[in-house]
Amino acid sequence: MTTSANWISRGEHVITRTYGRYPLVPVRGAGCRLWDVDGREYLDFLAGVAVNNLGHCHPQVVTALQQQASTLLHCSNFYHIPQQIELAELLTANSFADRAFFCNSGAEANEAAIKLARKYSLDKRGPDRSGIITALESFHGRTIGAISATGQDKVRTGFAPTVPGFSYVPFGEIDALEAAITPETCAVLLEPVQGEGGVNLPPAGYLKQVRQLCDRHQLLLIFDEVQVGCGRTGHLFAYQHDAVEPDIMTLAKALGGGSPIGTMLSTEEVATSFGPGTHGSTFGGNPLVAAAGIATMKVLLEGHVLDNCIAVGAYLRFRLEQLKKDFSFIREVRGRGLMLGVELDIEGADIVVRAMQKGLLINCTVGKVLRLVPPLIVSRSEVDQAIDILEDIFREMPGATR
């Protein structure tokens, strides 16, 4: 019988080391639960880094994949793909957007957004205006353009020269953003809630001020909703909390219910700057992943998943705030819906390991922020189970106070 130890040993010889992997080999998932190859069960509050918004192996997504896999897996974007068209109709009918471009990941979606913003600026505003302002602590992906846009030095280290034309300002500071605008600026790219950067929310009214600033200076506003979109915050899209519409928005992670699909949505006017030959993606929106995306969107649009996200998200936050009262090293609980961060005064890496050993999967960003992004179908009893595990770990931490 092949055990976790066997698989880990084999992988160490053949897999490129781009991840610091935990000693866990998942082989089965259902709802909010994962099981490893040794038969151990885990409560998954990481959800594939916010990919499994509907939980593992949601029946409607699985059925859509099985049916599509038996008829047509892939053709080419040289042809018209009904599943892709239907998914685009669902996305545009329920957002600000008029057009969708499909790709495979969030990084690819952001690459498309960067290209479209620069092409639109060239078409409408003339040359020498290609600068894009992003936020410090942002994260937009791992490709060369996406790391150039990302406001964290650590992801760019070792990969110079990166793509020129990006500048970075503190997230949530409107005066700093306005001061960074130059005659060369063409767009502002922001996450409505920063995920990888530490689950950071902007101050109330900030996104509306950014929209006004973009309008005043004829800049495009791009929202990266790769992590916060598809219901994660309790609305279908995070920008809907602030009633501020972007010109371009990117989605991925949860869009395919566990299948690799991304999209760049835009208004009709902006989309006209892309034409045949300007951009593309071989696998983007192929029949298989687009069918999964349709199933995912239909479940989200039924509403009960979003309702559960809001209700159970509030309960999870309440339980975390209770822990904050008991343990002095918890600095802050923040986030929206079921995208919550717990900022600590101590390093979080060891807590993540201890949680996994006790059967709870979470992760840590920027060193001291525990990130909790469980499936949106999570129950109150599962929240109680997760909190009990965290409380046990916190009680064992040096300096714990009650």
Binding residues for N(2)-acetyl-L-ornithine are 142, 281
Q: Which among 253, 229, 232, 225 has a CA at the least distance from the CA of 105?
A: 253
Tell me the whole-structure pTM to 2 decimals. 0.97
Binding residues for pyridoxal 5'-phosphate are 106-107, 139, 224-227, 282
The CA distances from residue 197 to 18, 59, 143, 353, 358, in Å, are 19, 33, 17, 20, 26
Domain 59-302, classified CATH 3.90.550.10, yes or no: no
Known catalytic residues? 139, 224, 253
- Domain boundaries of the chain, sorted by first residue: 59-302
Check the CA dihedral 146-151-154-158 and report its sign.
Answer: positive
Q: What is the pLDDT along the chain (402 residues), one digit of tens a residue?
A: 689 999 999 999 999 999 999 999 999 999 999 999 999 999 999 999 999 999 999 999 999 999 999 999 999 999 999 999 999 999 999 999 999 999 999 999 999 999 999 999 999 999 999 999 999 999 999 999 999 999 999 999 999 999 999 999 999 999 999 999 999 999 999 999 999 999 999 999 999 999 999 999 999 999 999 999 999 999 999 999 999 999 999 999 999 999 999 999 999 999 999 999 999 999 999 999 999 999 999 999 998 999 999 999 999 999 999 999 999 999 999 999 999 999 999 999 999 999 999 999 999 999 999 999 999 999 999 999 999 999 999 999 876 665
Q: What is the predicted pLDDT for the residue at 399?
A: 67
Angle separating helix axes 304-326 and 380-396, nearest 10 degrees: 20
Burial of 401 (0-12, 13-18, 19+ CB in 10 A): exposed
Binding residues are 106-107, 139, 142, 224-227, 281-282
What amino acid is encoded at 181 in this protein?
A: I
Given a contact cutoff of 8 angstroms between Cβ atoms, the answer to whether 331 and 344 are in contact is yes
Burial of 220 (0-12, 13-18, 19+ CB in 10 A): buried
Q: What is the predicted pLDDT for the residue at 398?
A: 76
Given a contact cutoff of 8 angstroms between Cβ atoms, the answer to whether 63 and 292 are in contact is no
Contacting residues for 317 by C-beta, under 8 A, at least 6 apart: 333, 335, 340
